[in-house]
Chain A
Amino acid sequence: MAIHNILNTSGEWLRSEGPHHQIVVSSRVRLARNLKSFSFPGWAKKHERLQILETIKPQVEALPEMNDAFSVYSQDLSALEKQVLVERHLISREHAAKGVGSAVVMNRRQTLSIMINEEDHLRMQAIRAGLQLKSVFKMIDKVDSALEERLDYAFHAHLGYLTACPTNVGTGMRASAMVHLPALVMSEQINQVIQAVNKIGLAVRGLYGEGTEALGNLFQVSNQTTLGEKEDEIIARLHKVIEQIIEHEQNARQMLLQKKPNTLLDHIGRGYGILRHAYSMNSKEALNLLSFMKLGIDLGFFPENCRQPIDELFMETQPAHLQKGTQQKLAAEERDSLRAEIVRAKLSEFPRPDIGPSKPPGPSEGNGSQN
């Protein structure tokens, strides 16, 4: 399968579906594995990395799940193509920086992706829409079990799967869910939630993982530790916490509707107005405004058929996705105007927010305005 097939079809997990899909965008589980008798990729010399690559790649391609897969060496992907894959969470930012000696194999549905010679010899992930950590884990566990029959993993009786970074040793598993929490951000409760989640050994990060900003009110919640706990226990704990976060977000939404309806409607109305009429927009602004549109749909201010186009725009307004259709690389200004154009076109048929007869409320909303 060719790269353009991957680039031109969005992954299955981008569809607005799955349990709790309004708040949980996607669930992802990745496993880190290494071969016994080779140095880890960061320390291995180039010839050794090539040897590792040629040991692993055929075995990955032979998996039944990888029937009709897209398989490519890192040096055969352009910087832009790599960036598109990063934006779709199919490869990591670190992997995008790799050249000769690395590769990625992914299935047609873009639910499975296996990076070879990233930080570890194998980084394999499964991703799906909505909250379904358990089934996502099953998917990747099956792939792992098939591969371990043919590859000699580095495994220690007490420490489990050995990884380049000691933070991943043990299960080598990182399970995460991407959650959309606009109401917790607006009501300034998000820090409390993050702190509470941190306290029980889970991490909250921005859109693209470690050290990235939480754009568009999107957060990744994941397990922090990998040693001393079974995989299914980690998954169950994370699942429970995500369910609680969903509940908090829903409560925060109800509170905003009751106590600060004008603030809420103002955000959504401005989002709608700017997205429909702007002629230049950077990706940060786009994500933040799209977040309010998504919230507006969740709250019934827009019809349900607006959901899919908005969810698609979250991806299509990202810098690399924007440029994949254009012939040459665009300057920042050109990107911003192209972005605004795409957004305007997609929203041209959108009705105005239907705030219903009961809203907006009376004149007194305290000092509900924001700066």
Chain B
Amino acid sequence: MHCDVCKTNQATVFLTQIVEGKMQKVNLCEACSKEKGVTDPTGFALADLLLGLGAAQEMERGGAVQKCLVCGFSQADFKKTGRLGCASCYTTFADGLSSLLKGMHKGTEHLGKVPARLAKTLERESALKTLQRDLRKAVADEDYESAASIRDQIRHLDVE
């Protein structure tokens, strides 16, 4: 088995760590394990290490999109740096990122602070989405009475 970092030497150090129930594994050769400080008792969490390794592969698996249309950043660039190009990259590479984020974080939805200016807009957008879904369902069910009332609510939101 080859080392996950240099991909040339034989792996002799096998690390497994369970963080909040998720198992993370990494195989390293002697030299890379020293360099990454995994043999150092104060060398700590695997996550930092794993981020650089697994991230790019996860992204590749994600889909056909190769380049962000807004900033020109590509998957190859992510592989090199482990950083994204701009805010739109999160949309461009959404498929690949979602599994990456899932493995990396506690959840997949932001639950924390929302900029005050955006809070209202976001609330309206999500209300609008729900109403539109309800409307489609009502139409499909041929429940035109509900559909009309939902349509009025949507109009009301649009005016605000």
Using a CB–CB distance below 8 Å, which chain A residues touch chain B? 34, 36, 38-40, 42-43, 119, 141, 144-145, 148-149, 153-162, 164-167, 169-171, 173, 190-191, 194, 198-201, 203-206, 210-211, 213-214, 219, 224-231
Contacts and interface: CB of A to CB of B under 8 A. Distances in A.
B125 A43 contact: no
B20 A149 contact: no
Interface stretch (B5-13, B98-106, B133-141): B98-106
A154 B89 CA distance: 11
Interface string B31-64: 0000001001110110110010001000000000
B115 A228 contact: no
Given A190-B42, A227-B106, 11 more contacts: A43-B86, A155-B115, A157-B125, A159-B110, A165-B83, A169-B90, A169-B110, A199-B18, A201-B106, A203-B47, A224-B19
Contacts of B48: 203, 210-211
Interface SS of chain B: loop
B159 interface: no
B122 A165 contact: no
B41 A227 contact: no
B66 interface: no
B18 A225 contact: no
Contacts of B85: 39-40, 43
A124 B80 CA distance: 26
Contacts of A219: 42
B83 A42 contact: yes
A172 to B, nearest CB: 9
A156 B84 contact: no
Contact of B83 (A40, A149, A157, A191): A40
Of listed B18, B44, B100, residue having the most chain A CB within 10 A: B44
B45 A203 contact: yes
